[in-house]
């Protein structure tokens, strides 16, 4: 099903720091290669995800008390190696993931404490050095519509561009919940202002989680949310990737993170299409000509 239904894949875990550099200087790409080889065998593209993130970091990073210069050298080694490894084989990289906190400040990671916002500039410069041809993205959640956090992300991206940082796009993760579907016009407006900065926009991790059990009403609302997001992204000239964060409820990050919640994806646990699947198919078939 993965081979048949999709043309872009994102490895959910296998390119993250802990997986590719579990011990300092000890890089391992077997798992990530499996995904990339699968994609290439099926004429699919790959989104590189994610070079710097505060989660899924190995112990040697989690326990580190590096100086500013040590962080820079650790990040340069990591980014050069990983981006170099997949040069020409991914369509973009999520270079920095979730650097803005939910209160719209900068997330207080060890490296932010040591380096301030400069770590972001540094990461993008390193990635650009390693593969000058690959588009580089900033990726975050809860920043799909308009609000304090998406304003903070917008302001951050504007600062980066003003400083000449090589950044080309922004990922809107689109993790939605039954309690809150962002207003469509706000998503459209957010994409427009990001595009006005000259950035590409990808919908990177869409899912729509519900409190179980599912009911016909919940399935219908979920279908509407998926279709709404696909429609907005199809209508935005700056947006050319729409990604779901998994395609079967059998494999989803949601149940283990939110007790009692789940059923967030477009096929059920037995890989049977849900109303959301049919809604996406209908939008792709019947949506306005473009």
x/- mask, ligand 9MR, residues 171-210, rule CB under 6 A, reads --x-------------------------------x-----
Residue nearest to ligand 9MR (CB): 253
Number of residues interacting with ligand 9MR: please give it, by CB under 6 A.
Answer: 11
**Smallest distance from ligand 9MR to CB 173, Å:** 5
Cβ contact 139:170 at 8 Å: yes
Q: Where are the alpha helices (DSSP H) in 236-289?
A: 254-257, 275-286
Q: 184-207 as b/e, with b when 16 or more CB fall inside 10 Å?
A: eeebbebbeebbeeebbbbbbbbb
89 forms part of the interface with ligand 9MR (CB under 6 A) = no
| DSSP states of 111-131 | HHHHHTTHHHHHHHHHHHHH-
- 154 is a contact residue toward ligand 9MR (CB under 6 A): no
Among 37, 55, 67, 215, binds ligand 9MR (CB under 6 A): 55
Of 143 and 231, the one with the shorter C-beta distance to ligand 9MR is: 143
205 is catalytic: yes
Tokens of 46: 């790959």
Helical H runs in 98-183? 110-115, 118-130, 148-162
Of 71 and 141, which CB lies nearer to ligand 9MR in the complex structure?
141
Kindly tell me the burial class for residue 218, based on how many C-beta atoms sit within 10 Å of its own C-beta (0-12, 13-18, 19 or more): middle
**Catalytic site positions:** 98, 205
Binding footprint of ligand 9MR on the chain (CB under 6 A): 12-13, 16, 50, 55-56, 97, 141, 173, 205, 253
């Amino acid at each position: 099903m993965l081979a048949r239904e999709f043309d872009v894949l994102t490895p959910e875990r296998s390119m993250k720091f802990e997986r590719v550099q579990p011990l300092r200087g000890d890089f391992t790409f077997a798992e990530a290669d499996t995904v990339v080889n699968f994609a290439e065998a099926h004429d699919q593209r790959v989104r590189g995800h994610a070079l710097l993130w505060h989660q899924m970091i190995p112990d040697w990073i989690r326990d580190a008390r590096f100086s500013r210069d040590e962080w820079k050298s650790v990040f340069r080694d990591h980014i050069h190696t990983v981006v170099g490894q997949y040069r020409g084989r991914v369509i973009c990289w999520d270079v920095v993931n979730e650097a803005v906190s939910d209160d719209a400040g900068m997330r207080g990671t060890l490296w932010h404490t040591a380096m301030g916002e400069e770590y972001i500039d540094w990461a993008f410069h390193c990635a650009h050095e390693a593969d000058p041809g690959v588009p580089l993205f900033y990726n975050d959640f809860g920043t799909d519509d308009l609000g304090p956090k998406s304003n903070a992300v917008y302001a951050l991206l504007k600062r980066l561009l003003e400083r000449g940082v090589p950044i080309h796009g922004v990922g809107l993760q689109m993790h939605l919940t039954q309690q809150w579907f962002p207003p469509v016009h706000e998503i459209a407006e957010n994409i427009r202002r990001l595009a006005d900065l000259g950035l590409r926009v990808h919908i990177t991790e869409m899912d729509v989680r519900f409190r179980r059990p599912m009911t016909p009403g919940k399935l219908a609302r979920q279908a509407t949310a998926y279709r709404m997001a696909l429609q907005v992204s199809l209508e935005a000239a700056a947006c050319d990737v729409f990604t779901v964060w998994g395609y079967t409820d059998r494999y989803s990050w949601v149940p283990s993170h939110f007790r009692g919640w789940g059923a967030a994806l477009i096929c059920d646990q037995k890989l049977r299409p849900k109303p959301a699947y049919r809604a996406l198919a209908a939008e792709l078939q019947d949506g306005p000509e473009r």
